[in-house]
Amino acid sequence: MKKIKIVLLIIVLLIPLSIASLFVVFPILNNISLSKFEKQFERYPLPEETSLIEVKSVVGKLNGNGNSIDFFVGLLIQSELSKDELTHYYEHAQYAGAKVEKRNVLIEVLTVEDRVLHSKYLEHRQLKFNKLENINDFSNYYFVTIYDGGYPALFDIRGN
């Protein structure tokens, strides 16, 4: 009888622990996906007369309503090229989705107005770029972003 109680106790403890572990595993998997998503963007060659200043990325419910996970990467660059030239350059790039390779990854080139990246894809978050802290003249500074979203949140509470 005592052995049965011990087995039942172990089962009763393992079930909640197994479910709770999902809330750890899924965020880790999403962080790995974000890292891969970011690295492919960083590896893409910069256009001429352009230098990379800083990179920021985030995963979570970034815009809209509902439960889903979005992936966003922003590059801060300094370039002698115009916004239109940069947009043309980056629109021709092919990026894999954060979790599904054949996805339509959205690209955006924005002029820098302050330390915060203002993007339609970051409705619920802010990305501040530290390298802009002591800069007063934002001429020739741009944010280049990629976004992939709408994945099921599952057990990642950042998707709520």
Domain positions in the chain are 26-159
Share of the chain above pLDDT 90, in %: 67
Q: Provide the pLDDT for residue 102.
A: 83
Mean pLDDT of the chain: 90
pTM: 0.88
The pLDDT tens digits for 111-151 are 999 999 999 999 988 999 999 999 999 999 999 999 999 99
Residue 139 carries which DSSP code? T
- Identify the burial level of 149 via C-beta atoms within 10 angstroms of its C-beta, where 0-12 means exposed, 13-18 middle and 19 or more buried: buried
**CA separation (Å) from 54 to 13, 25, 58, 147?**
46, 29, 14, 17
pLDDT in tens, 50-62: 999 999 999 999 9
pLDDT at 152 over 80: yes
pLDDT tens digits for 31-45? 999 999 999 988 999
Residue 159 and residue 127: Cα distance in Å, rounded? Answer: 17
User: Is the pLDDT reported for residue 14 higher than 70?
Assistant: no
Q: What's the distance, Cα to Cα, between the start and end of the chain in Å? A: 45
